[in-house]
Amino acid sequence: MVVVCHGRIRQEQVELLVRLERERPWVPVVLVADPDPELARQLLRVRTSAMVWLTELETHLRRRLDAVRATWGLWSLAGAFERSSLPPALGKALVHAARRAAKRPVRNVRELARDVGCAPVTLFRQFGARANGVTTLSAFIAGLSVLRVYELRRSGLNWKRVEQHMQLGRATITRRAKVWPGCPPGELVQMTPDRLFAAFTAEHVRPILPTISDGVSTLDHE
């Protein structure tokens, strides 16, 4: 997401950035603004994934966007799966799952297989062969759904609206959260985004992509 601010950044724009960080912690925000020495001070309590001055827009924006895609949250997962040596069917499925997780995650392996035009058993076997029993494709998908529930609850949605958005019942959400990260859904929001995403990466991604990073960046001035 690119946010453009002309002139001095206003308080309501700072509040918008704060809200985006709170509600969508794994969606990267690139701030484009006029050069202003006071900007860093104003944004002390805000985390953006990159900043580009308007005077350098043509030369820096594309490079910064490419860097963000490679290093930030769900974007980094999708990019890592695209660049990996995973079997083509599995790689395509995991890219799709990571990208869908930013909106409404796929609910199960059957839905994922249908979306990418592949047999569920193929995805099960290919994922299992890489994970060596450490995790499963079902657990990976369930983990993505927990991440999205975390975002929705942080945004202030009540449980009824979370269930409607996810197209999952409260019992299913509760069961998945108790399996990973091991707490009731009501306690999820007590975790920091960095900690939760790093835990997801360690448990459900690194077994199939050992070189993957935790995928979280901090404020970066160009």
71, 88, 114 — which closes off a domain?
71
60 CB burial (10 A radius; 0-12, 13-18, 19+): middle
pTM for the whole structure: 0.72
Specify the DSSP element, H or E, that contains 32: strand 30-33
Q: What is the pLDDT of residue 95?
A: 96
Residue with tokens 């995973």: 86
pLDDT in tens, 30-86: 778 777 777 766 666 666 667 778 788 888 887 766 655 544 578 778 888 998 999
Q: What's the pLDDT tens digit per position in 154-181?
A: 878 899 999 999 999 999 999 999 999 9
Residue 215, domain member (yes or no): no
| 214 falls within a domain | no
Q: Which residue did the predictor score with more confidence, 17 or 143?
A: 143
- Share the mean pLDDT of the chain: 84
* Residue 117 located in a structural domain: yes
Domain count, the chain: 2
Whole-number pLDDT of residue 70: 45
**Could you tell me if residue 83 is inside a domain?**
yes
Predicted local distance difference test score (pLDDT) of residue 5 = 75
Q: 56 is in which domain, residue-wise? A: 2-71
**Is residue 62 domain-shared with residue 113, that is, in the same domain?**
no
Query: Is there a single domain that holds both residue 25 and residue 117?
Result: no
Q: Give me the long-range contacts of 207-210 (CB less than 8 A, separation at least 24).
A: 207/130, 207/131, 207/132, 207/134, 207/135, 208/86, 208/127, 208/130, 208/131, 208/135, 209/80, 209/81, 209/84, 209/86
Top-confidence residue, 118 or 54:
118
CATH number at residue 86: 1.10.10
